[in-house]
Amino acid sequence: MLIGIDIGGTFTDILLLDRGRTFFLKVPSTPGRLEEGVMRGLELLRERLGLRPGEVERLVHGSTVATNALLEGKWAPTALITTAGFRDVLEIGRQNRPRIYDLFVERPQPIVPRDLRFEVPERLDSQGRVVRPLDEGAVKEIAEELSARGVRAVAVSLLFSYANPEHERRIAELLRGRLDGLPITLSSEVLPEFREYERTMTTVINAALRPVIGSYLERLEEGAGRLGFKRGWQIMQSNAGITSSRGAQAQPVKLILSGPAAGVMGAKAVGERAGFPNLITLDMGGTSCDLSLIRDGRVTITTEGEIGGYPIKVPMVDIHTIGAGGGSIAWIDKGGALRVGPQSAGAEPGPACYGRGGREPTVTDAHLVLGRLDPRRPLGGLAEFDLEGARRAISERIAKPLGLSLEEAAQGILAVAEANMERAIRVISVERGHDPREFVLLAFGGAGPLHGAGLAAALGIPKVLIPGMAGVLSALGLLETDLVHDYVQSIVREVDRLDPDELNALYEALKEKGRRELLGEGVAEGLIRYQPSVDLRYLGQSYELNLGLPQPDHPLTREGLKRLVERFHEHHLQVYGHAAPGEPVELVNLRLRAIGLMERIELEWDRRGDLEGAERPPRPVHFPGVGWVKTKVFERGALPAGFALSGPAIIEGEESTALLPPGTRASIDPFGNLIIDVKGPGKGVGEAR
């Protein structure tokens, strides 16, 4: 028996899997006290199913706590210890400007204020050789000051410590002897890579989040323990893998995209079963819309992440997030233009139709007013939607000020939201060398299936895949994920000057580290796998490309390094449109992914269905350019495999609603997925809407 729990901005999704059978809940999220929503969901599982907590084998959780703490500035008071002369790295940063012509741009505040940044005399050269020994007396003095300053965490990031971590380790020993229990984060453990600003920032973020995440997970474990759940929690990481609760508390910087990464893994699993290896994933919930790209069944991983203006250089799923969710608020800007988001009504008070005091019109209100949602079938435990409240909000805030009818205003809200999503899809596809017409759009989340067909038609994407459990797919993705740990070691040397034996020895050290960690998390030796890769660049370049080793299960050879360089030229040509085979190539980082394989889950689904029981009374639905149309309505869970239908139609599930506009056709595949064939003119891949 397995349980996956994903917390979103509006709903907390809980999925129970027991011998192939599934049961799920959507309960309102509880901002500021997220564990309470989780506990409420677990209590409901006990009440409704007679669940015996002792029978649960795995509890897997996708958390937004780290993300929220970083975005809201609610991290713990943290100190930084660094090499003398490098106190201001956090503020100097990089000289690139996100908006080059904005003269008033403001950088985010430093996570560690200047008076909590301490310099210690010591120095290594770029090869890790000691130039100036560590001044241990200075470290002891800093420890005394830290005790008086009341900090709750310490980050240590010394120059070139990725090449030689001994000074950082000695500082940690001295501090632990004087600062009992205070969490200490070393850059050589979190991110042993070159680039001082990114390494220091990532280390500081990890340190500042450790007390926050530690406190949250302790409350989570205590609450679950009171309910009788004895299994330790597993936590989703940004790198599309899970880790133990202990691992999450030690390196919370790796949880920043925890929830969205789970959605991508759920999409990957659904796409594999349905036979679609190339996917554009669209996860639209109540607060935001997360988009990613899966090519040849492989999730795209990046180490160039940024959250709230802070660079985070750890492996994470390449996800583009915009403020477009069901709760995104529609508003009129100073120029009189209709805008949607990024502000959201969230879970409290929620959209106007929730009847909880919200008065701002949202995307969900627009769908309800246009007949796409049934007022009698709301999500998240509501008795029913407040249709009049939704009409009033759109009429007063949008329709009347713009001189539009109620339907025109509602359609305008949806058109603006979809234009934002269309631009975001182009960012992850066209701008990165991929033609969206070669992909299938997999739309999920509570709101995604309402927008999938419209977006696909605008972009020329031929098919849309709506999973059978679209509204809780992120919770399913948590149970489809292996234990994963990523390791890196900077080299920064021309390939022609590398000794393969030296590289193989470094890889063996990384493998042993991963092996020990996975064995400690209960993974059997025979279920551990390794994926080695390298970061390469042309000599003098600022950024590098990641390539897997040609024979990952064999030691590197001179011939293997030569093939790697050839593949680098080919990959550079594909990504950037040019290559320079005559230029020297530099190996920047060795990377290793250690994977502890989890048992694959099997899902049961009644392929027979009951078409007679699936039909619901038709209702009028408003479509752009057509007006109100009497529209067929079906219960998704009762539709049999192979059933085909044409739009306009509404397919309602317990956790989400899918829309088939006029001119589309759809069918149910053997796994309960809705496959929509879209006929739309689309646009040239380089055109903007």
SS (H, E, C) 225-279: HHCCCCCCEEEECCCCCEEEHHHHHHCHHHHCCHHHHHHHHHHHHHHHHHCCCCE
Q: Which of 32, 15, 37, 11 is nearest to 24 (CA)?
A: 15
For residues 297 and 94, the model is more confident at 297
Q: Is residue 464 part of a domain?
A: yes
DSSP, collapsed to helix, strand or coil, labels residue 181 as coil
CA 62 from centre of chain? 9
Torsion angle of the four alpha carbons 266, 271, 277, 280, in this order, in degrees rounded to the nearest 10: -70
DSSP string, 608-654: S--HHHHEEEEEEEEETTTEEEEEEEEEGGGPPTT-EEESSEEEE-S
Kindly report the CATH number assigned to the domain that includes residue 524.
3.30.1490
Residue 497 shares a structural domain with residue 587: yes
pLDDT-derived band at 609 (thresholds 50, 70, 90) equals low
Quick: pLDDT tens for 356-408.
888 999 999 999 999 999 998 876 566 789 999 999 999 999 999 999 999 99
Whether residues 635 and 503 share a domain: the answer is no
pLDDT at residue 18 greater than cutoff 90? no
Q: Is 212 contained in some domain?
A: no
Are 532 and 574 in a shared domain? yes
**Residue carrying structure tokens 């005394």:** 144
Do 318 and 449 lie in a common domain?
yes
CB atoms under 10 Å from CB of 520, counted, come to: 11
Whether residues 296 and 439 fall in one domain: yes
Parallel, antiparallel, or unpaired for β 289-295 and 298-299?
A: antiparallel
Rounded percentage of the chain residues whose pLDDT exceeds 90: 66
At 101, the pLDDT band (50, 70, 90 cuts) reads: confident
CATH number at residue 450: 3.30.420.40
Please, which pLDDT band fits residue 553 given cuts at 50, 70 and 90? Answer: confident
Q: In 3D, which of 327, 273, 225, 260 has the Cα closest to residue 600?
A: 273
Q: Are 243 and 234 in contact (CB under 8 A)?
A: yes
- Average pLDDT of 597-620? 80
Give the span between the Cα atoms of 235 and 30, in whole angstroms. Answer: 19
Q: What is the total count of domains within the chain?
A: 5
Q: What is the pLDDT at residue 411?
A: 96
**Per-residue pLDDT tens over the stretch 31-80:** 778 888 899 989 988 888 888 888 888 999 998 788 888 888 889 999 99
How many Cβ atoms from other residues are within 10 Å of residue 298's Cβ? 11
Whether residues 318 and 454 share a domain: the answer is: yes
In this structure, are 431 and 313 located in the same domain? yes
Helices (H) and strands (E) in the chain, counts: 18, 35
Q: Are residues 544 and 653 in the same domain?
A: no
Is the pLDDT at 689 greater than 60? The verdict is no
| DSSP assignment letter at 431 | G
**pLDDT at residue 15 greater than cutoff 70:** yes
Q: Among 263-267, 359-363, 424-428, 653-657, name the one with the lowest average pLDDT.
A: 653-657
> Given this model, what pLDDT does residue 333 score?
93
Name, in order, each residue with C-beta under 8 angstroms of 9's C-beta and a sequence gap of 6 or more. 29, 31, 64, 285, 286, 287, 288, 325, 327, 344, 346, 347
**What is the reported pLDDT for 683?**
47
| 153, 171, 201 - which closes a domain | 201
Mean pLDDT, residues 631-640 = 90
Q: Is 338 helix (H, G, I), strand (E, B) or coil?
A: strand
169 SS3 class: helix
The 3-state DSSP class for residue 358 equals coil
For residues 434 and 286, membership in a common domain is answered with yes
**In the chain, pLDDT over 70 holds for what percent of residues?**
97
pLDDT at position 687, please? 36
DSSP letter, residue 497:
G
pLDDT value of residue 381: 60
Neighbouring residues of 410: CB distance < 8 A, sequence distance ≥ 6: 365, 366, 369, 370, 394, 622
Pick the last residue of a domain from 477, 512, 547: 477
Question: What are the tens digits of pLDDT across the range 286-322?
Answer: 888 999 999 999 999 998 888 878 889 999 999 998 8
Q: For 470-525, write each residue's pLDDT tens digit.
A: 989 999 999 989 999 999 999 999 999 999 999 999 999 999 999 999 999 999 99
Tens digit of pLDDT for each residue in 397-456?
999 999 999 999 999 999 999 999 999 999 999 988 889 999 999 999 989 999 999 999
What are the contacts of 335-340 at 24+ separation with CB within 8 A? Answer: 336/402, 338/398, 338/402, 338/412, 338/413, 338/416, 339/416, 340/413, 340/416, 340/417, 340/420
188 and 310, same domain (yes or no) = no
pTM for this entry: 0.88
Residue 341 resides in a domain: yes
325-348: pLDDT as tens digits: 899 999 999 999 999 988 888 777
In a domain, 54, yes or no: no
Kindly indicate the confidence band of residue 21, based on its pLDDT and cuts at 50, 70 and 90. Answer: confident
Q: Give strand pairing partners of 536.
A: 545, 587
What does the DSSP 8-state code read for residue 681? -
| 632 and 664 in a common domain | yes
Answer whether residue 214 is part of any domain.
Answer: no
pLDDT tier at 124, thresholds 50, 70, 90: very high
Whether 105 and 171 map to the same domain: the answer is yes
The average pLDDT across 133-150 equals 93
Domain membership flag for residue 64: no
Distances (CA, A) of 5 to 34, 35, 211, 248, 343: 12, 11, 22, 16, 25
How sure is the predictor about 684, in pLDDT bands with cuts at 50, 70 and 90?
A: very low
Helix (H, G, I), strand (E, B) or coil at 360: coil
Over the chain, what is the mean pLDDT?
90
Q: Would residue 301 count as lying in a domain?
A: yes
Q: Is residue 332 part of a domain?
A: yes
Range of the domain at 373: 328-416
The structure tokens listed for 542 are: 């600022």
